[in-house]
Amino acid sequence: VSCRILIVEDNPANQLLAVAVLERDGFEVRIAESGPDALRAIGESRPDLVLMDIQLPEMDGLSLTRILKADPATATIPVVAMSAHAMVTDRDQAIASGCAGFIAKPIDTRVFADQLRGFLQQPAAAESAS
């Protein structure tokens, strides 16, 4: 079963790198460049995981995460935040906003796919246990 990842990222170089790494690993990848773009994409096709850049135009990634977490239709989709500013406060804010995890940019291409797979397994394990 191929997992569908929505990458919310406005930087073209970061988009290309993440897509290349994840497609090589068998993920199905879609890109959104902004918050409104992401909400449209999620409405059309529910992803298994959202990779969320924190610094975005129009609406920042954590505001967008809070919108997704407040809506029962999207609340269970794991959101993993990405930021170049990997300060402890950024990580804390991401978790407080409802993110399942936090990945510092630049991504480590050797472990990136495994990092995301870890976040995908958590909700599946919880469902089978209940």
Does residue 84 contact residue 37 with C-beta atoms inside 8 Å? Answer: no
Closer to Mn ion by CB, 33 or 48: give it.
33
Residues 54-93 as x/- pattern, contact with Mn ion by CB under 5 A: -x--------------------------------------
Q: Which of 9, 101, 15 is nearest to 56 (CA)?
A: 9
Whether the bond into 123 is cis, omega within 30 of 0: no
**Position 10 contacts Mn ion (CB under 5 A):** yes
Closer to Mn ion by CB, 64 or 116: give it.
64
- Piece of the chain touching Mn ion by CB under 5 A; list 32-40, 53-61, 108-116, 121-129: 53-61
**Position 34 contacts Mn ion (CB under 5 A):** no
**Position 33 contacts Mn ion (CB under 5 A):** no
Give the pairing type, strands 79-83 and 28-32: unpaired
Report d(CA 46, CA 50) in Å as an integer.
10
Q: Which of 113, 91, 94 is nearest to 7 (CA)?
A: 113
Interface residues toward Mn ion, by CB under 5 A: 10, 53, 55
